[in-house]
Structure 1
């Protein structure tokens, strides 16, 4: 994969309890109670109707919420990906779910370049490199070549070709588990090679991973990169108000075999 290569209001109608005293009072009260009972019955009916409407509305809302839940992706063979309970909860909440042997990474956030990464300063170069690595990992987990391809100049064709190769694997419904990059920048300055070009010492590592085909079978084992944690040099180019990665090289005197 390298260059070496997803209430209810219970109808509580109030029943009027009339205390009756004497026959004439009873007759009188009965005459008066009739409209009261009718009114009470009407109120109870209205409450029941409102309750039914409320319940219907709640059912409708529930159905709408259920239908708006993000559907799980399927593999090329039509099989729905398998998630653990925790993964399913995170997925429905829109949270990032790392790739596994059962499914590709899900809800992968697209990286956003910080404003400082546009400055022609060491802090700007450092922020840019950190963004570049986030974009590399975004490519690894989604196959998308944008934005990472635009961050590398044509002077490093092997790197750009790797992004395209990963994209092709995802277009064929494959995916990558692991193989994510990490970048540490120990220095507080860069070396100016010549106008517009800058060398930055970094520790660039990648964990091991696996490439799966469309049916979830391991297609390739991807080895870790720079397990000895040796420093390398990343050459940056600043042109037309923006940074770009121009290449990577070893440091003279460093043994990269250990």
Structure 2
């Protein structure tokens, strides 16, 4: 049985891929993230003092927050509710899905801020899969790397031909360490070891086709590093490619 998302594409599904294979004559590969190095360099040169201040703040708060353990399932505390939530079924999409509310400290250069950013990011990612609405995710992804109209999760809804069902949370994240680890690649680059858990019951309904698992049935969970960078007053989620590139650039500069 075909699946909507391959193992590695489960989170990459929102990176701006072309149309879903089920909605087009042939499958499209997930395209790489847009190169934001030019704008990043301009921003960095314009706010050197701000970055230095943020770096000092993040480093100091890292020590203070290290005493608190954030290990475990990542949870967002607040959601906006509009009417009674009706779960999706094979016959109709979900109704009145609770919308994630931005946490108060999400944009702070602290470990707590990074945790709140991650909790909102995951909740908004799931919301996008359940509704096709990527507006909440844009608040944690202003560059539109993950939140955009070209993502697979958005296309199935905007086309009017499908939806996700048999799940409320397609993706759950568990953190495996008490706090993130500061890594090379920038003054505020952090990695947080965690595990992505896919709901094995999640399915995708597409008009005229048999139901299919949302994610490859052989995939239940996988360990990963959640890489984030704090810049310009906000946290940014990095792809594997971004994280590797920033680390390589840092190593080359110090060589």
- Provide TM-score, normalisation by structure 1: 0.53
Give secondary structure in 2 for the equivalent of 1:116: coil
Is the counterpart of residue 231 in structure 1 residue 223 in structure 2? yes
Shift, 1:245, TM fit: 0.7
Q: Is the 8 A contact 1:197 1:235 kept in 2?
A: yes
Q: How many residues align?
A: 159
- Residue 197 and residue 225 in structure 1: after superposition, are their counterparts in 2 closer, same or farther (change >3 A)? farther
- Residue 109 and residue 163 in structure 1: after superposition, are their counterparts in 2 closer, same or farther (change >3 A)? farther
Q: Is the 8 A contact 1:133 1:181 kept in 2?
A: yes
Q: Is the 8 A contact 1:210 1:218 kept in 2?
A: no
Is the counterpart of residue 190 in structure 1 residue 177 in structure 2? no
Is the counterpart of residue 171 in structure 1 residue 183 in structure 2? no
Which runs of 5 or more residues in structure 1 are unaligned?
Answer: 6-92, 250-258
Q: C-alpha distance in 1, partners of 2:182/2:114?
A: 12
Is the counterpart of residue 180 in structure 1 residue 184 in structure 2? no
Is the counterpart of residue 118 in structure 1 residue 107 in structure 2? yes
- Alignment deviations for residues 145-171 of structure 1 (CA, whole Å, 9 cap, x no partner): 2222453486x96x5579722211101
Equivalent residue for 2:24? none
Q: C-alpha distance in 2, partners of 1:131/1:189?
A: 17
Q: CA RMSD in A?
A: 3.0
Bigger Cα displacement from structure 2, 133-142 vs 226-235: 226-235
| Counterpart among 118, 122, 142 of residue 133 in structure 1 | 122
Equivalent residue for 2:60? none
Q: C-alpha distance in 1, partners of 2:234/2:224?
A: 22
Q: C-alpha distance in 2, partners of 1:103/1:149?
A: 26
Larger-gyration structure (1/2): 1
- Residue 228 and residue 167 in structure 1: after superposition, are their counterparts in 2 closer, same or farther (change >3 A)? closer
Which runs of 5 or more residues in structure 2 are unaligned?
Answer: 14-81, 242-255
Is the counterpart of residue 102 in structure 1 residue 91 in structure 2? yes
- Provide TM-score, normalisation by structure 2: 0.54
Greater relative contact order (Cα < 8 A, sep 6+): 2
Shift, 1:227, TM fit: 4.6
Bigger Cα displacement from structure 2, 223-232 vs 170-179: 223-232
